[in-house]
Amino acid sequence: MDEQELIRRVQDGDEGAFGQIMGLYKDKIVNYLYQFSGDYQKAVELAQETFIRVYFKAGKYRPIAPLSSWIYTIASNLAKTECRRSRKMATVSLEDIPNNFSSGTYYEDPADPGLVRNLREALDALHPRYRVPVVLKDMEGFSQEEIARIIKRPVGTVKARISRGREQLRIKLEKARDGESFAAEKEVSEHGRA
């Protein structure tokens, strides 16, 4: 059964069809949100909220775009809202927190030590305006046109943001390779240009 038929059945109240849609997209959405947030628990929570909204807003879906674009749009909007909310929360200095943990809590691939950690930190340091298109393009495999529909921006803007995001990632990863910190760049990227 195709996705358009599934969503039409969900609009008619068919919970089984909704279960099928969740089965098709649950892992993809959790992975996407994890790439965005860097926090697996937060990604699962946001994915649950995404599917709650898919279920309750199914009546508003119109088949002018693929179902996947609509679902990723919902997930992206929730992720951006969460990112804004977390920036508004009060921060605590790491020196104020007692360190009861041993060092080496990051997973390091023996073949390439620190690569996963460095990539995660570089991705986390990107402003969401760049992180969303880069993750959708390079990790989720969406075309630039699909990304434009998801984030509701012109294709030219999407191309520019992917290019700038990749360039910022390249710079951050080169600096990490040379042993520099992400802290200074993170401040710059959070106030980066559109």
Q: Could you give the residue ranges of the DSSP H alpha helices within 91-143? A: 115-125, 128-134
3-88 and 110-190: identical CATH topology:
no
Which of 158, 126, 156, 128 has its CA nearest to residue 142? 158
17, exposed or middle or buried, with CB in 10 Å at 0-12, 13-18, 19+? Answer: buried
138-169 pLDDT tens trace: 888 889 998 998 888 999 999 999 999 999 98
d(CA 72, CA 47): 10
Which architecture characterizes domain 3-88 according to CATH?
Orthogonal Bundle (1.10)
| CATH assignment, 110-190 | 1.10.10.10
- pLDDT tens-digit readout, 74-127: 999 998 888 777 665 444 444 444 444 434 443 444 455 567 777 778 888 888
Amino acid at 115: L
Write down the domain spans for the chain.
3-88, 110-190
